[in-house]
Amino acid sequence: MKYKRLNEEQIIITLDRLTRFKNTKEKYLRVFFDIIISSLIEPKLKKAELEKLSFQEIKSYAEEIFNSSININNSDYSINKILLNYENSVFNNDETVQELLQNKINYKGALKFINDSSVVNLKWLKSLNTSQNIVEARSKYCLKFPIEKVILVEGITEEILLPAFAKFLGYDFYKEGVQVIPAGGKNQVVKLYYKLAEELKIPIFLLLDKDAEENIKQILPRLRSIDRIHLVSCGEFEDLLPKTLIIKTLNKHFTNFATISEKDLSENLSEVQNLETIFKTKGLHEFKKSEFAKLVRENITANSDISEEIRAIISEISRVNKTLDTKICSC
């Protein structure tokens, strides 16, 4: 066996990708394949050839290349055991996947390459070297990992603003192990829920816009007992934002360029339509949901900035891992 060693950047990328919140089998195979394809010189194996190998063979190649690259001898695999238990607590992993998880990747030795990383899962990985209780460490250091529940949403606005509203209300997603996943539209929510419901052991909270009633009909027959759906009472998530928060956000950002008042927000239009009109008529740049959501996030400073329905949603999310009488709530 002849190979070139991974450089420091490749080692960090490998650690990052192996600890992300993704399907265990897909994640490990992809990372191990990339290690082998990028480094193995003899025998030279293409991806099609790798796919014919057993998981034991794939794992052995990846272990040898990775461990040789960090050049540290180590027989302490306590971190590997923690990761194995964690992956099995979150994902439905069959016996074949256990072969990938029961590896001797030298995580403990590789920690020296992780300095003050801003990548959340790398910070979590480093904490595993000293933390006796990973849930307590998550809460203490706001690590987000281990993940305990998933919030499946339609778009970017919810992904950006839900954690911000929750934190203001005293429910920190990073401390509580909450992962928000945007699907990119109501139809994609259905498809993604089907996939996640098969893969995950942890609860899934679905947040859908008012026009998703037909999509809910597709989900209900396969809705697990631990999951819950919230249907926005009217319109989409942006319609739950208090008008005062929207006005405050726009006026603060566009000081000296434009002044927005409540009369600019028509009751006959959705808030997205209102915002598109304001940006166009006031000569501002193109309205983009993600950019606007980030501006709103910076202006959540008072209780009045959070509507009653958003409060209800956060409350439901905080209770989603408990036994609930109803699976669907529309405030």
pLDDT in tens, 98-154: 999 999 999 999 999 998 778 999 999 999 998 889 999 999 999 999 999 999 999
Mean pLDDT of the chain: 93
- Predicted structure pTM score: 0.92
For the cut 50, the answer to whether the pLDDT of residue 266 exceeds it is yes
Backbone torsions φ then ψ of 143, nearest 5 degrees: -90, -20
Give 273-306 pLDDT, tens digit per residue. Answer: 999 999 999 888 899 999 999 999 999 999 999 9
pLDDT one-digit tens code per residue, 203-218: 999 999 999 999 999 9
258 or 90, higher pLDDT: 90
pLDDT class of 330 with cuts at 50, 70, 90: very low
Residue 328 — very low, low, confident or very high, per pLDDT cuts 50/70/90? very low
Task: Give CA–CA dist 48/103, Å, rounded.
Answer: 23
**Of 203, 206, 195, which Cα lies nearest the Cα of 23?**
195
